[in-house]
Copies of this chain bind each other. A is one copy, B any other.
Amino acid sequence: MQPFDDSPLARDGKVLILAYDHGLEHGPVDFEGLDGSEDPARTFEAATHPAVTSLAVQKGPAEAYYPSYEDDVDLLLKLNGTSNLWMGEPDSAVNCTVDYAHEIGASSVGFTVYGGSNNEIEMVEEFRDAQEAARHRDLPVVMWSYPRGQGLKNDTSPDTIAYAARQAHELGADVAKVKYPGSQAAMEHAVSMAGKTKVVMSGGSKTTDREFLSSVKSVIDAGGVGLAVGRNVWQREDPTHILDALEAVIFDETSVDEALDRAA
């Protein structure tokens, strides 16, 4: 386990993951808002913005597009995922091995665990294999820690998010990607539960700039190290402005107003 600050995931101890696994998880419907957003090259291009610390994609786009961006993008290979054509108890297919992720140039890996799913036991054991293989390859591990399933009614309650952050720590993730629990206090609670595991907020669906940046700001103020963001970036005509604003809030720790000014 490397010190987090030396990790390829972080820059100055902060994290901005651009996530682009929606083509698998949600399908083409997520690209409807903006023509061209279905083209992975466009998001790889966006990921060259200096604010982006890693680009999270599945194996296919990594194989096809990363070779053209290996000097400018840090690849976070998302090792599991599932289509929403299928609708059973939450689960996720491991569609890439750590060895292969390493072979095609990933500098970190991501893995979803649905705590509380009837498949939790199996997912945690698959995570174990991935986590230990990643340690042997010196690849830091981000857990998409998303409690979900039969027994869980509200999966973004502060208690559930705090448990999600703790579960990621207990199982050996370097970074826990959790949903926003609704307030800065709740995020502080989640961060304190995560021990030395770093916490990033999961971006969620597209919203206004101010609302979005405010929640990011509250994550940073709560001791989180940053953000994993998808649609709020690549669904925009020009992702540069919002990335400029995120850079301000996350890395320069500006106010939301200043960030909005810079990005204007």
Taking Cβ atoms with an 8 Å cutoff, the residues of A that contact B are: 1, 21, 23-24, 27-29, 31, 38-41, 58-61, 63-65, 81-83, 85-88, 91-97, 100, 115-118, 120-122, 124-125, 127-128, 131-132, 135, 147, 149, 151-152, 159-160, 162-163, 166-173, 189, 192-193, 195-197
In the assembled complex, the Cα of A39 lies from the Cα of B163 at a distance in Å of 14
> Least Cβ distance of A45 to chain B in Å?
14
Q: A28-B189, A132-B100, A163-B27 are in contact. Are A81 and B170 (CB under 8 A)?
A: yes
**A94 — which chain B residues lie within 8 A by C-beta?**
125, 128
Establish whether residues B83 and A167, one from each chain, have CB atoms under 8 Å apart when the complex forms: yes
Nearest 7 CB-CB pairings of A with B = A85-B116, A93-B124, A24-B170, A64-B196, A27-B163, A60-B172, A85-B115
By beta carbon, the residue of chain B nearest A91 is B121
> Least Cβ distance of A108 to chain B in Å?
16
In the assembled complex, the Cα of A82 lies from the Cα of B92 at a distance in Å of 18
By beta carbon, the residue of chain B nearest A63 is B1
> Least Cβ distance of A152 to chain B in Å?
7
**A40 — which chain B residues lie within 8 A by C-beta?**
195-196
- Supply 5 A–B pairs (Cβ within 8 Å), ascending by A: A27-B166, A64-B196, A92-B121, A93-B125, A95-B125
> Least Cβ distance of A170 to chain B in Å?
4
Establish whether residues B59 and A120, one from each chain, have CB atoms under 8 Å apart when the complex forms: no
Copies of this chain, complex-wide, total 5
> Least Cβ distance of A176 to chain B in Å?
10
In the assembled complex, the Cα of A162 lies from the Cα of B97 at a distance in Å of 26
Q: A97-B132, A166-B27 are in contact. Are A86 and B125 (CB under 8 A)?
A: no
In the assembled complex, the Cα of A52 lies from the Cα of B158 at a distance in Å of 34
By beta carbon, the residue of chain B nearest A39 is B195
> Least Cβ distance of A168 to chain B in Å?
8
**A93 — which chain B residues lie within 8 A by C-beta?**
120-122, 124-125, 128
**A82 — which chain B residues lie within 8 A by C-beta?**
120-121, 124
> Least Cβ distance of A2 to chain B in Å?
11
Establish whether residues A135 and B100, one from each chain, have CB atoms under 8 Å apart when the complex forms: yes
> Least Cβ distance of A163 to chain B in Å?
4
In the assembled complex, the Cα of A135 lies from the Cα of B64 at a distance in Å of 13
**A41 — which chain B residues lie within 8 A by C-beta?**
195
By beta carbon, the residue of chain B nearest A85 is B116
In the assembled complex, the Cα of A203 lies from the Cα of B83 at a distance in Å of 25
